[in-house]
Amino acid sequence: MVNPRRKHIFNIYTGFYCSVIILPQIFSMPPSDQFNNHPGAFPVATNGEPFPWQELRLPSTVIPLHYDLFVHPNLTSLDFVASEKIEVFVRDATQFIILHSKDLEIMNAALHSEEDLRYRKPGKKLNVLSYPAHQQVALIVPEKLMADLRYYVVIDFQAKLADGFEGFYKSTYRTLDGETRTIAVTDFEPTEARMAFPCFDEPLFKANFSIKIRRERRHIALSNMPKIKTIELEGGLLEDHFETTVKMSTYLVAYIVCDFKSVTGTTSSGVKVSIYASPDKWSQTHYALEASLKLLAFYENYFDINYPLPKLDLVAIPDFGSGAMENWGLITYRETSLLVDPRTSSAFDKLWVTKVIAHELAHQWFGNLVTMEWWNDIWLNEGFATYMELISINATYPELQIDNYFLDVCFEVIKRDSLNSSHPISNQAKTPTQIHEMFDAVSYNKGACILNMLKDFLSEEKFQKGIIHYLKKFSFRNAKNDDLWNSLSNTCLEGDFTSGGFCYSDSKMTSNTLTFLRENVEVKEMMTTWTLQKGIPLVVVNQEGRSLRLRQERFLKGVFKEDHSWRALQEGYLWHIPLTYSTSSSNGIHRYILKSKTDTLDLPEKTSWVKFNVDLNGYYIVHYEGHGWDRLITQLNQNHTVLRSKDRIDLIHDAFQLVSAGRLTLDKALDLTHYLQHETNVLAILKGLEYLESFYHMMDRRNISDVTENLKHYLLRYFKPVIDAQSWSDEGSVWDRMLRTALLKLACHLNHAPCIRKATELFSQWMESNGKLNIPTDVLKIVYSVGAQTTEGWNSLLEHYELSVSGAEKNKILYALSTSKHQEKLMKLIELGMEGKIIKTQDLASLLHAIARNPKGQKLAWNFVRENWTHLLKKFDLSSFAMRFIISGTTSHFSSKDELQEVQLFFDSLKAQGSHLDVFQIVLETIPKNIEWLEKNLPTLRTWLLVKI
């Protein structure tokens, strides 16, 4: 429930009958008699008895209303004992209750009626059946539970604190004195609450939670809600009692037992915000507090809904599987996603921390207050939170220019979405593995990009009103895709209606938007084409005088029109694309919705060129047939500033994407980058540099030495003026600083003498100071990488890595160590990562990825993964982000047929053992496309370079 001291701005359903009404029926539950009459049709429990439920999803016959949860972790023996009382409501008579439970030892289970509790009668013992394949237990009751009554299920259970990063697990850190300390922390999303307590572990089963935690005096306990009291027990133990939570899903429950220190502030609306970290890292928490207070205040204002809890804790966890987790009121973070060290955190590090905080705070509304009905619509959580990073940081930290970063959010997912192995944003997910795999670039990035496109289409005002409508209507409830589209179609809130029943809230909409509405464009009709089908459209433009012939196709990387598979892969795909364009004769933004395969647009006047997807607000790629590309390239060379800066970035991006689909020749795309010598926009320079650098690394890894050398000479000559203009400092705007880092990193990697000289000088000074010299943060990784090339420097960096209390610095050192050309050193890093003491296991995936990108380490990393697969599975769950990153990170850059065969054989062996992931198919589609790209484009690249140098 909402704290009575906070402002009530919407009604909360507190009566449990209301809860019953709004929970949809998702299964037709077979009566208990059916189980009794046909037990052979059901699975077999671990004790050999028939298990009374066949489905992966829980029945909706019994629903939870309230959990009383008691937990006592022992941080010495590394286990915990616990008990719970679940208040349930029976919708249909039944003889069993199905719960989720995984790796828990249930010692006792009993059932109480309301009458039992009222008169303190003993409960009825329940027979507990376990079916681990579905991570379910069945509580068999002696007498049928009657419909429309409440009951109370009491369970005693125990387990070891988990070894990985899921459920209720242990995490360790080392103090400056070298002492290793242990904490206990939870991470439940999406399906791991069942590892901590038996529960209805699906997002639809929202309930209230009252939590009690027993601990030693040297520790503190944190949970979703504020602590209301602490009881002293015999033996010196303490028991903390926390306020009852608002109604929420199990995956948002959280509790921590630790010895952390905090810094605290309060928002203008009275929310107490605290940042927690291990004592030696307390000094790195202050930026996070400042950012959290700003962002929380922004969201309360933007959503017109106060944050519903009295407090918000953000905690830096020493061992954490993902970047962060949005537990309501107790958000947990990897240390590098929350802590900022002024001495070692670069401009990008600070941007990253701000971004992650903004993301998790957005979840307090999108995901926590309104939750998707099922994991197939996880994008409603993650896509929105990713999009709100852009909105919130632009408002609170405009100097970070987050909209520049957002361009890469969309570029990154286009790489994935242009493969046939992609999936729709809203996609079927049944098993825990399938659910975990939904947490990918499509759900996060594509979700955010289509929301940005929709905002541009509707107008900011209408989009914001639609979001507010959606959040207020479904507060403390669950929602699905259609609920969002309906809210965005009908943005009239109660206060917008006149006495006559008319809504004038859209009076400020643009005339273009009104034209769209007059054409009866439905938001739902348009947006389902983006959420229910996979892929990204290609808009083909052919300009003939004042006429524009438009055609839409499905864009597929590595699939050419002459391929026999092309036509079949195109069938059934049609998007409603909100096009925007500008022309050489009109810099204004023109709009048009392309709803058919082909269409024609007539321009009001003759124009030399037309540019679609203005400011990159649309999620589509554009190909200009005929002389279209030539005219745009001519304009870039004559006066590039005529085109908007984001449009220039878009042209660079689309040109190289089109090369991969055989629509544009590589030399034409490379010619387009020639104008960059006059470019001053950081993002455009970085985008052009990114493609050229990727070609260099591809050639280097394949040991195509002549092209590698020529590319090196071309890069150093072509970018020399901008490289030489860089200072070895932290001066300038955020993006000036990021350009500096990228250019100097490349220059030193290419052995550019002035760069190597300066980095070596700074590293020598750092060594002489015993690591105490403050090197500018934006060049720190570069200096360390050059220093790591000598045995003495490498060993010193590894020693410093072990002592450093800055996660930002440790990341830079680890990257530097991974650039060594000595395989025995790279192997030592992998061994340390597997051991998990000096290099934490959480960093193993990124370490293997970095080593695999090193030409001297690519085979080493790949062979290690193949030979140590079983050991890796003991450290990471098969479907975890870490394992998926390890697989793609060590294979997706391969570009030879021998490597493809090795990967295919390995994946086949895993499938034979029953292991299958979507990432296998992604990799097996990516490698042949890399091979094909080289075969088609290597001669062109070789010739182009010979001409240019």
Give catalytic residues, as residue numbers.
360
User: Contact, 97 vs 88, CB < 8 A?
Assistant: yes
Phi, psi of 638 (to 5 degrees): -80, -50
In angstroms, rounded to a whole number, what is the distance separating the alpha carbons of residues 770 and 566?
A: 61
Cross-strand partners of 69: 84, 211
- Indicate the helix (H) or strand (E) that contains 265: strand 261-266
Number of other residues whose CB lies within 10 A of the CB of residue 366: 27
Taking alpha carbons only, the member of 29, 38, 37 closest to residue 97 is 29
Mapped onto helix, strand or coil, the DSSP state of residue 805 is coil
In angstroms, rounded to a whole number, what is the distance separating the alpha carbons of residues 817 and 865?
A: 19
Taking alpha carbons only, the member of 494, 488, 430, 492 closest to residue 463 is 488
In angstroms, rounded to a whole number, what is the distance separating the alpha carbons of residues 833 and 831?
A: 5
For residue 916, CA distances in Å to 434, 883, 901, 913 come to 10, 12, 18, 9
In angstroms, rounded to a whole number, what is the distance separating the alpha carbons of residues 484 and 899?
A: 45
User: Contact, 628 vs 598, CB < 8 A?
Assistant: no
The size of the chain, in residues, is 949
In angstroms, rounded to a whole number, what is the distance separating the alpha carbons of residues 691 and 669?
A: 10
In angstroms, rounded to a whole number, what is the distance separating the alpha carbons of residues 471 and 616?
A: 28
Helix axes 347-363, 734-749, angle to 10 degrees: 130
The DSSP-derived string for 155-217 is EEEEEEPBSSSSEEEEEEEE-TTS-EEEEEEEE-TTTTGGGTS-B--STT--BEEEEEEEE-T
Mapped onto helix, strand or coil, the DSSP state of residue 360 is helix
User: Contact, 137 vs 121, CB < 8 A?
Assistant: no
User: Contact, 745 vs 358, CB < 8 A?
Assistant: no
For residues 152-162, one letter each, b for 16 or more C-beta atoms within 10 angstroms of the residue's C-beta and e for the rest, the string is bbbbebebebb
Residue 245 DSSP one-character state: P
Cross-strand partners of 537: 554
Taking alpha carbons only, the member of 742, 748, 743 closest to residue 761 is 748
- Indicate the helix (H) or strand (E) that contains 297: helix 286-303
Percent composition of the chain: helix, strand, coil (DSSP 3-state, to 5): 45, 20, 30
Residue 283 DSSP one-character state: G
E-only strand ranges, 19-164: 62-74, 79-90, 94-100, 105-113, 124-125, 127-131, 136-145, 149-160
Q: What angle do CA 892, 412, 548 make, to 5 degrees?
A: 120
Mapped onto helix, strand or coil, the DSSP state of residue 372 is strand
- Indicate the helix (H) or strand (E) that contains 715: helix 705-718
Longest dimension (CA), the chain: 93
Q: How far apart are the first and last CA of the chain?
A: 69
For residues 796-830, one letter each, b for 16 or more C-beta atoms within 10 angstroms of the residue's C-beta and e for the rest, the string is bbbebbeebbbbbbbbbbbbbbbbbeeeebbebbb
Q: What angle do CA 712, 718, 719 make, to 5 degrees?
A: 90
